[in-house]
Amino acid sequence: MLRDHYIFSNGRLKRKDNTIYFFDENETKKSLPVHQVDNLYVFGEVDLNSSLLNLLSQHSVHLHIFNYYGFYAGTFCPRNKKVSGFTVVQQSAHYLDATKRLYLAKMFLQSAVHHMLRNIRRYKEKTEEYVRQIELEAKKLDTATDIQELMGIEGRIRQYYYQSFNEILKQDFIFEKRTKQPPQDPLNALISFGNTLCYTTVLSEIYKTPLDPTVSFLHEPSTKRFSLSLDLAEIFKPLIVDSVIIACINNRVITPKHFDYLEGMVFLNEEGKKKFIREWETKLATSIQHRQLKRKVSYRYFMRLECYKLIKHFIGDERYKPLKAWW
């Protein structure tokens, strides 16, 4: 079974006998059978060479690089083997058609709002007013006429949503405002780190399909980013990331001691990253009985299913309806 692997130590990644070896600073060797690896996440300072990259490419392993603070730096993506010119042409046509693009953008946000409300309704005595405000804003999604208007509505909804965390979280994690580059408090640091894991996981699932990760609908396509992963992540950030954050804080898996501070910037220390990733992986592997497929599907595979639904929409087989958790 394919698994994600995370490297926190400094050292070297090396190809030997058609498998991956990691040598830490003490030259301690650990093998990673390449046929069992889906993604490699590198948080330490690691040396590697083209021989290793060729091996990763042969086995379609994605290599995600993070800097010392845990901020995403970039991804090595193997050559895409799931190529379909027809799908990409149809995907691009849906971006170029303003009506078709707006429909998909609204679908992503409607799913996101559904999952936000799902999270905070569990604490309805404390969050009733926030639910009401979000529902009022969400009604405006249907009548929005362009992407900028949608993004404005989404921004207000997310502000109410994050403010409700002050009523939900049991420890002294306070939300004042969303700060990203860099995060300025522990809660923002958790949100940013979790969202980054979500983006990279969605990107890896997109690459297992013929979709082009640079052609998006809610987020504007631009150079140097895989913006379709940002679109699809809107569905899964509240469903997976935020539920993991709430559980980690309320169950005291993550506490204030798991953060470091540097010149106005706050980031998870190594122990904090490991603890969060452990909960993240557990959540991704959790399976739900799928109503249409009649079998259990993991949270990770739900990401792939969204890609397949988009493809069917682009080629005219079935109109896209986003995931809205029913469980």
Q: Output 125 or 206, whichever has higher pLDDT.
A: 206
Answer yes or no: is pLDDT of 1 > 80: no
Q: Is 219 annotated as a binding residue?
A: yes
Predicted local distance difference test score (pLDDT) of residue 264? 85
* pTM for this entry: 0.93
DSSP 117: H
Pair type for strands 29-32 and 265-268: unpaired
pLDDT of 188-241, one tens digit each?
A: 999 999 999 999 999 999 999 999 999 999 999 976 679 999 999 999 999 999
Q: Could you tell me how many residues make up the chain?
A: 327
Q: What is the mean pLDDT of residues 13-30?
A: 90
Predicted local distance difference test score (pLDDT) of residue 79? 80
Answer yes or no: is pLDDT of 80 > 80: no
d(C-alpha 327, C-alpha 320), whole Å: 20
d(C-alpha 228, C-alpha 111), whole Å: 15
Q: Is 129 annotated as a binding residue?
A: no
Answer yes or no: is pLDDT of 109 > 80: yes
Q: What percent of the chain has pLDDT over 90?
A: 87
Q: Is 27 annotated as a binding residue?
A: no
Domains of the chain: 1-74 (3.100.10.20), 83-313 (1.20.120.920)
Lowest mean pLDDT among 28-37, 231-240, 272-281: 28-37
Q: Is 189 exposed, middle or buried (0-12, 13-18, 19+ CB in 10 A)?
A: buried
